[in-house]
Structure 1
Amino acid sequence: MDAQAWIDVTLAVLGGAIRVGTPFLFVSLGECLTEKSGRINLGLEGVLVLSAMAGFGGSYLSGSAWIGIVLAGCVGALLALLHGLLCSLDRVSDIATGIALMLFGSGLAFYLGKPLIQPQAPQIPAFALGGWSDSPAVQSALTINALFPLGVLLAVLLHIGLARTRWGLLVRMVGDSSDAARALGASVSGVRIAATTAGGFIAGLGGASLSLYYPGSWNEGLSSGQGLIAVALVIFARWRPLACLGAALLFGGAGALGPALQSVGVSGYYHLFNAVPYALTLLILLATCSPHRAIRGAPAELGATR
């Protein structure tokens, strides 16, 4: 490839990092908040798919993408609330419950979403920040999903909230030592249910971004495992909201690499490049797992037997 082709690929990857990374950002922030309270939610894949379907249906029926976005968040919160309530029962496994709700959410979305496969719904607006350039590549790279700035702001607010506010201290205390939280009179189950529900709402916004912006339609293969990848992404980010932003852009750029190369005529190994995000997930898990030490930054209660 010549120099111009490399520039076009770089711009395409940067633009794709934002487009593809926006759902990763919201789902990872939701899971980060949930895990900070000492609970893991593997059902986020079901949350993502069901909220994507609900957001598309809400936008299609109401004629407003923003109504679809709010509906997607609420549906994600409801499914996450169910997870939180079930996991608060005695001798109920977070992992098993999450897998069950992943299957339940996905199956419910596929069943209710069949009439939505063909119709078109109003899409999330975009900010065209590349109007100053005559280059189509620059204009495309700087066309920003309107939810992306909201995700950046949310990452900053979560970072400040978890570090400097009373509720953030309470969430972190419950995640690190439930006994200490109980000694101070805090409701461990209540805090975890609230954090899980709020995390589900945030993840639901990622589902809305999938069906109402990129790829911008509803179908049964929409998620491609992004909800499960988000769990590895949170580990990679060491449970830090601002690091989740960088990790989401990294995963988004990895997912955009194949289409970017195809846009300049490099069509060989296309499917191999599409596998980059999944290979990256495996590498992160291999690099961070160890039977001899805890992962730095991990809430202590995530490793507790319940």
Structure 2
Amino acid sequence: MDAHAWMDLSLAVAGGAIRVGTPFLFVSLGECLTEKSGRINLGLEGVLVFSAMAGFAGAYLTGSPWLGVALAGASGALLALLHGLLCSLPRVSDIATGIALMLLGSGLAFYLGKPLIQPQAPQIPSIALGGWSGDPAVQSALSINALFPLGVLLAGLMAWGFKNTRWGLVLRMAGDSSDAARATGYSVNGVRVAATTAGGFIAGLGGASLSLYYPGSWNEGLSSGQGLIAVALVIFARWSPWRCLGAALLFGGAGAVGPALQSVGVSGGYYLFNAMPYVLTLVILVASCSPQRSLRGAPMELNVSR
């Protein structure tokens, strides 16, 4: 490829990293918030699929993409609330409940969303940052999902809040030592239910980004495992919201390589490149979860058998 083709490829990957990475960003931030409280939610795949369906339905029925976004967040919060309440019961496993939630959310989405496979819903608007350029490739790369800046702002607020606010201290206390939280008069279950519900709302915004921006439709294979990948992404990011942002863009860029190569005329190995996010997930888990490193930055209560 010549220099111009390399430039087009770089721009396509950069733009694709934001488009593909936006759902990863919201789901990983939601899981980061949940795990900071000492609870893990493996049901995020179900949350993501169900909220994508709910957001698409809301936008289709009301004609407003933003009402669809709000409904997607509320739907994600509702499923996550169910997870939080069930996990608060004695001798209930976070892992088993999360798997059940994944199946429930996916099943409900497939059943309720069948009438929505063909219709088109109004889409989340783009922010055109490339209007200064006459190059269509630049304009396309710099056409950004309007939810992405919200995700960046949310990552910053979460990072600041964890370290500098009372609720951040209580959240981290519940995640690191439930006994210490109880000794200071806080309800550990209450904190975890609230964090799980808020995390579900944030993850639901990622679902809205899937069905109302990219790829911008509803179908049963929409998520492709992104909710489960986001759990690995949080481990890779070491439970840091800012690192979740960087990791989401990394995974988004990996997912954008195949379409970017196709856009410059390289079609060989297209499906192989589409597998890059999954390969990257395995590589990162193997590289980052050694016995010496896997606990670094992790909330201590995640290692307690419940």
- TM-score tier after normalising by the smaller chain length: over 0.9
Partners of 1:248 and 1:186 lie apart in 2 by: 33
Relative to structure 1, is the Cα distance of residues 206 and 293 closer, same or farther in structure 2, using a 3 angstrom cutoff? Answer: closer
The aligned residue for residue 206 of structure 2 is 206
Amino acid at match of 2:107: G
CA shift digits 1:112-159 (9 cap, x unpaired): 000000000000011111111111110000001000000000000001
Q: Secondary structure of the equivalent of 1:123?
A: coil
The aligned residue for residue 50 of structure 1 is 50
Amino acid at match of 1:198: A
1:131-142 alignment, distance < 5 Å: 131-142=131-142
Partners of 2:153 and 2:290 lie apart in 1 by: 34
The aligned residue for residue 235 of structure 1 is 235
The aligned residue for residue 163 of structure 2 is 163
Amino acid at match of 1:73: G
Deviation (angstroms), 1:288: 2.0
Contact 2:288 2:294 (8 Å CA) reproduced: no
CA shift digits 1:241-274 (9 cap, x unpaired): 0111111001000000000001111111111111
Deviation (angstroms), 1:287: 1.2
Contact 2:15 2:140 (8 Å CA) reproduced: yes
Residues 1:185 and 2:192 are matched in the alignment: no
1:54-203 alignment, distance < 5 Å: 54-203=54-203
Q: Which is worse superposed, 22-31 or 286-295?
A: 286-295
Deviation (angstroms), 1:289: 2.0
Partners of 2:210 and 2:52 lie apart in 1 by: 6
Relative to structure 1, is the Cα distance of residues 292 and 134 closer, same or farther in structure 2, using a 3 angstrom cutoff? Answer: closer
The aligned residue for residue 286 of structure 2 is 286
Relative to structure 1, is the Cα distance of residues 261 and 210 closer, same or farther in structure 2, using a 3 angstrom cutoff? Answer: same
Q: Which is worse superposed, 286-295 or 183-192?
A: 286-295
Partners of 1:103 and 1:171 lie apart in 2 by: 28
The aligned residue for residue 265 of structure 2 is 265
Residues 1:22 and 2:43 are matched in the alignment: no
Structure 2 unaligned blocks of 5 or more: none
Amino acid at match of 2:64: S
In the alignment of these two chains, the number of paired residues is 306
RMSD over aligned CA atoms reads 0.8
Partners of 1:35 and 1:219 lie apart in 2 by: 29
Residues 1:13 and 2:30 are matched in the alignment: no
Amino acid at match of 1:152: V
TM-score (norm 2): 0.99
Identical positions, percent = 82
Partners of 2:280 and 2:14 lie apart in 1 by: 18
Amino acid at match of 2:101: L
Amino acid at match of 2:25: L
Partners of 2:144 and 2:48 lie apart in 1 by: 21
The aligned residue for residue 226 of structure 1 is 226
Structure 1 unaligned blocks of 5 or more: none
Residues 1:39 and 2:46 are matched in the alignment: no
Amino acid at match of 1:34: T
Relative to structure 1, is the Cα distance of residues 284 and 293 closer, same or farther in structure 2, using a 3 angstrom cutoff? Answer: closer
Contact 1:288 1:295 (8 Å CA) reproduced: no
Deviation (angstroms), 1:166: 0.2
Partners of 1:78 and 1:165 lie apart in 2 by: 26
Deviation (angstroms), 1:293: 5.8
Partners of 2:138 and 2:292 lie apart in 1 by: 48
Deviation (angstroms), 1:284: 1.1
